[in-house]
């Protein structure tokens, strides 16, 4: 009897995992910008938006939260998704949500605050992970029960790159020696006797 109970539980778990995997292919999240590359000067903030698409026939996806997996050496990440309520349902009802990054409205995936001491000209990479839950009933429905309507959960992961740009004043200071060299070369050429 004990063997039968364990086998039944394992079979149910495998079926649930297979079902979730099959449904997860119908749901996607793409970062904005799509290549994940953002940049700013030291001490400023960068961020990512997203497009959530649900092409499933019967599942609703609810975004739970986001995090940055990478080196915290150059700044800190703040999640925006956890403070919003993003729900996408079966198409065509609410198949797609586009949420550009907006710092003041706190929309999009989240923000990365660059430290003021970051050296300009560097770049570093990481991964944005967005956790989600799947339900068989619209969470906005009055009959929604998170316990009985829960199908499963998962994580979207996209690689990102953050560039730390030189400040505009630094660019001017860096270009000044080049401008002086060009001026000297021009003056030498202009002063050279014609043969």
Q: Which two tokens stand for residue 47?
A: 């961020």
The model's pTM is: 0.72
- What pLDDT is attached to residue 62? 95
- What pLDDT is attached to residue 81? 96
Task: Note the maximum CA span of the chain.
Answer: 107
Tally of CB atoms within 10 A around 109: 28
Residues of the chain with confidence (pLDDT) below 50: 1-23, 169-173
How far from 73 is each of 45, 51, 84, 117, 158, CA to CA, in Å?
15, 28, 28, 10, 20
- What pLDDT is attached to residue 86? 92
- What pLDDT is attached to residue 152? 93
- What pLDDT is attached to residue 56? 84
4 vs 10: CA distance, rounded Å: 10
Domains of the chain in sequence order: 2-169 (2.60.40.10)
- What pLDDT is attached to residue 58? 86
The candidate with the shortest Cα–Cα distance to 64, out of 149, 156, 160, 158, is 156
- What pLDDT is attached to residue 170? 46
> Angle at the Cα of 103 (from 97 to 105), degrees rounded to 5?
60
At 17 the three-state DSSP class reads: helix
Find the radius of gyration of the CA atoms of the chain: 26
- What pLDDT is attached to residue 57? 82
């Amino acid at each position: 009897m004990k063997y039968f109970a364990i086998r039944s539980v394992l079979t149910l778990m495998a079926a649930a995992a297979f079902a979730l995997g099959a449904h997860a292919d119908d749901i996607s999240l793409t970062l904005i910008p799509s290549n994940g590359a953002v940049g700013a000067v030291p001490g400023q903030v960068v961020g990512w938006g997203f497009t959530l698409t649900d092409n499933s026939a019967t599942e609703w996806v609810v975004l739970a939260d986001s995090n940055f997996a990478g080196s915290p050496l150059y700044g800190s990440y703040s999640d925006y998704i956890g403070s919003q309520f993003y729900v996408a349902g079966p198409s065509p009802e609410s198949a797609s949500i586009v949420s550009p990054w907006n710092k003041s409205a706190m929309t999009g995936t989240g923000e990365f605050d660059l430290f003021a001491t970051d050296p300009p000209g560097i770049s570093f990479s990481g991964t944005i992970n967005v956790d989600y839950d799947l339900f068989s009933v619209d969470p906005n429905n009055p009959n929604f029960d998170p316990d009985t309507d829960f199908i499963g959960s998962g994580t979207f992961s996209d690689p990102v790159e953050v560039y730390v740009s030189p400040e505009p004043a630094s660019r001017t200071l860096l270009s000044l020696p080049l401008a002086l060299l060009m001026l000297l070369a021009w003056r030498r050429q202009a002063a050279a006797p014609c043969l």
